[in-house]
Amino acid sequence: MLSSEKKERIAFEVVKTLSSRFKSFPKDSTNNRNAPFHEAFLNAFQDKFDGNVSDIPFFISLSSWLHGLNTTLGQSFFENIAHILCDGEKKEFTKTRENLLKVTNQQKEAIADIITDLKNANQPPDLERENSLIFISEGDEIDANNFTMDVFFEDDDKIVGIELKSVKPNAGEMRGEKQKILEAKSALFRHFSDKKIKFFIGFPFDPTSTQPTAYDKNRFLDSIIDGKKYFATSEVLLANELWDFLSGKENTMQQILDIINAIATTDFKEKYNLINDTDTNSATKKEILELWYMYSEIRLIDSESVILTKIASNNPLKRIYRQDIFKEGKYNERRYKKLSKLIKI
């Protein structure tokens, strides 16, 4: 079971994502009055739309909005949740950051040979074999390529990196990801010479599964162009396997979905406004906050009488107390930190 602190931080990310998508949700088709080419092509599917889609321009606007949601989930939400679960971070090793790593020319040659063998199907992907070829110290040192790790964390005995990807990678993408991971592992091996290096490619869910959290790694890789050509199953973290690996707990993906489902309801905007309204009574606020896993704010409400007494003659603190709990979808941490000091949380 995830800790209350992690559940709350996940809930903050859910609120932030929902708030931003509500702002851009198309109310009608007025922002898409003219899409002649799309509409012309969609005429061929009119019989498919009958009874399901009545407003083609709105359908086009909604499709654009859904694409935006996919982008938000892929570029920030999944990554932020991953960092919360594993207490990790996004990590860059680049010349710009002045922390570019080194590799040897022999490691570079080994990577080129591995990619060539995989491309030509001379060798199947084999994590143990590939590691033995790149985890070497021989050769002259040269600059490694710039690389960024979506998820990075360091333990006493190992370095772990994860590249988070869309469940439908573009054609040719798997080869590029494989080469990037091989080069990153080679550089990390030289820099963290006393630690094991683990690097995975991670996918947030399995679209080939009929169950939300279930997965079949072989079937999933078969559904991706060159999936099995470049990656062994031991290099891939998929669906609940990924989220459990990050958290170190069981059934993590279902817990994330439970948090999303609790917050992402049709009355989300109404509840969001009630939380932020200073006139909303404490009992109503607390009921919403409990549903939304907002434990920090619940502690403030439970100590409200103490807080009000301590800020009675302090106008700056009164102003902070009256601030919105969420600003533009983001939790107001400054407000919480100031008020929590009054009750010694």
170, amino acid identity:
N
Which pLDDT score is estimated for 185? 98
Which pLDDT score is estimated for 39? 80
Which pLDDT score is estimated for 142? 96
Distance CA 311, CA 314 (A): 5
- Calculate the alpha carbon distances from 328 to 115, 293, 332 in Å: 46, 19, 10
Which pLDDT score is estimated for 29? 58
What's the order of all strands across the beta sheet hosting 89-93?
89-93, 147-154, 158-164, 196-203, 236-238
Backbone angles phi, psi at 214, to 5 degrees: -80, 165
Digits of tens for pLDDT over the chain (345 positions)?
999 999 999 999 999 999 998 887 877 655 656 677 788 778 888 888 887 887 777 888 888 888 888 888 988 999 999 999 999 999 999 999 999 999 999 999 999 999 999 999 999 999 999 999 999 998 999 999 999 999 999 999 999 999 999 998 887 899 999 999 999 999 999 999 999 999 999 999 999 999 999 999 999 999 999 999 999 999 999 999 999 999 999 999 999 999 999 999 999 999 999 999 999 999 999 999 999 999 999 999 999 999 999 999 999 999 999 999 999 999 999 999 999 999 975
Distance CA 181, CA 166 (A): 16
Which pLDDT score is estimated for 34? 65
Which pLDDT score is estimated for 115? 97
Q: How many CA atoms lie within 13 A of 158 on its CB side?
A: 6
* pTM for the model: 0.92
Distance CA 114, CA 122 (A): 9
Which pLDDT score is estimated for 344? 77
Residue 77 DSSP one-character state: I
Which pLDDT score is estimated for 272? 96
Q: What angle do CA 270, 272, 273 make, to 5 degrees?
A: 65
Which pLDDT score is estimated for 249? 96
Helical spans, DSSP H, in 26-153: 36-42, 46-49, 56-72, 78-86, 105-119, 127-134
Which pLDDT score is estimated for 223? 94
Distance CA 210, CA 134 (A): 38
Report the relative pairing of strands 196-203 and 236-238 from DSSP bridges: parallel
Q: With beta carbons less than 8 A apart as the criterion, state whether 222 and 228 touch.
A: yes
* Cβ contacts of 281 within 8 Å, gap of 6 or more: none
